[in-house]
């Protein structure tokens, strides 16, 4: 079986080229494939391979105090979903082009998957405020599935989110808004930016949809979660839509 991991962590990085080269070297030696993104704001990984080989890549980061809080989402497939290994250094680990959206000093408030599932069941948060789930992904992604009754926006790129959300801001004023995405990185940036822009009622889903599937399952979610590899999309049991041995 092939171990698939999605992991990201925000941390100040002044040696991005060296770190990317180190991660690529270890991944290549273990025949791991996927994408390694390194930026001055942190790292973002989508990798697949043998469990020992993938863990060897993660160990490079775990030995570095800057990545002590690295969170990893794991799933399994019968076949390798990536065609090759890529390591890139970019300005951002997810492009948003908004200042102050890298949570290097503090994160936006978050809600864990179990609590969100309870809020969905109850129809409100612990303070009795109505709940709105905000999908920060693009139209292609949420076309495979999203939380039931989620607010989706007709965007093709994450950078378009602030403008697309603007017409809804007033109607969301009395709600607790939980932003979510695939693995947590986009909803983290979006929640931080929206909070700084005056929208104080926004939380992020910690770990995104993949963590929700892993910890809760599919309660309140309709369909699958699009992923950025050959598996195409995962069901709430983290099983792929496309898997040659399935």
The fold of 2-89 is Alpha-Beta Plaits (3.30.70)
Pick from 139, 130, 118: which is nearest to 216 by CA?
Answer: 118
Say whether 31 is catalytic: no
Q: Do domains 2-89 and 110-234 have the same CATH topology?
A: no
pLDDT in tens, 43-89: 999 999 999 999 999 999 999 999 988 999 999 999 999 999 999 99
CA distance 106 to 211: 21
pLDDT in tens, 155-179: 999 999 999 999 999 999 999 999 9
Beta-bridge partner residues of 44: 8, 37
108 has a pLDDT exceeding 90: no
CA distance 229 to 233: 8
Task: Report domain extents, the chain.
Answer: 2-89, 110-234
What pTM was estimated for this model as a whole? 0.93
Q: Are 61 and 9 in contact (CB under 8 A)?
A: yes
From the candidate CATH numbers 3.30.1360.200, 3.40.250.10, 3.30.70.260, 3.40.50.300, the one assigned to the domain spanning 110-234: 3.40.250.10
One-character DSSP codes across 17-58: HHHHHHHHHHHHHTT-EEEEEEETTEEEEEEEE-HHHHHHHH
Selected catalytic residue, list 31, 181, 187, 225? 181
Which two three-digit tokens encode residue 102?
Answer: 């890298």
Would you state the pLDDT for residue 229?
95
Backbone angles phi, psi at 169, to 5 degrees: -60, -45
CA distance 75 to 240: 9
């Amino acid at each position: 079986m092939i171990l698939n991991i999605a992991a990201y962590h925000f941390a100040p990085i002044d040696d991005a080229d060296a770190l990317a080269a180190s991660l690529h070297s270890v991944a290549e030696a273990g025949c791991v494939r996927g994408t390694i993104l390194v930026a001055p704001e942190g790292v973002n990984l989508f990798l697949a391979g043998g469990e020992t080989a993938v863990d060897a890549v993660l160990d490079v980061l775990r030995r570095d105090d800057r990545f002590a809080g690295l969170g990893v989402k794991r799933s399994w497939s019968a076949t390798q979903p990536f065609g090759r290994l890529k390591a890139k250094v970019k300005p951002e680990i997810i492009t948003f082009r908004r200042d102050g959206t890298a949570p290097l000093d503090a994160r936006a408030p978050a809600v864990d998957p179990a609590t969100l599932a309870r809020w969905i069941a109850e129809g409100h948060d612990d303070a009795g405020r109505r709940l709105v789930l905000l999908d920060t992904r693009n139209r292609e992604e949420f076309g495979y599935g999203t939380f039931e009754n989620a607010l989706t926006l007709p965007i093709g790129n994450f950078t378009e989110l602030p403008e697309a959300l603007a017409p809804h801001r007033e109607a969301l004023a009395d709600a607790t808004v939980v932003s979510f995405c695939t693995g947590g990185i986009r909803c983290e940036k979006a929640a931080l930016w929206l909070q700084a822009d005056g929208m104080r009622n926004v939380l992020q889903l910690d770990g995104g949809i993949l963590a929700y599937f892993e910890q809760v399952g599919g309660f309140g979610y309709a369909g699958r979660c699009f992923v950025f590899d050959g598996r195409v999309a995962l069901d709430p049991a983290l099983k792929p839509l496309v898997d040659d041995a399935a």
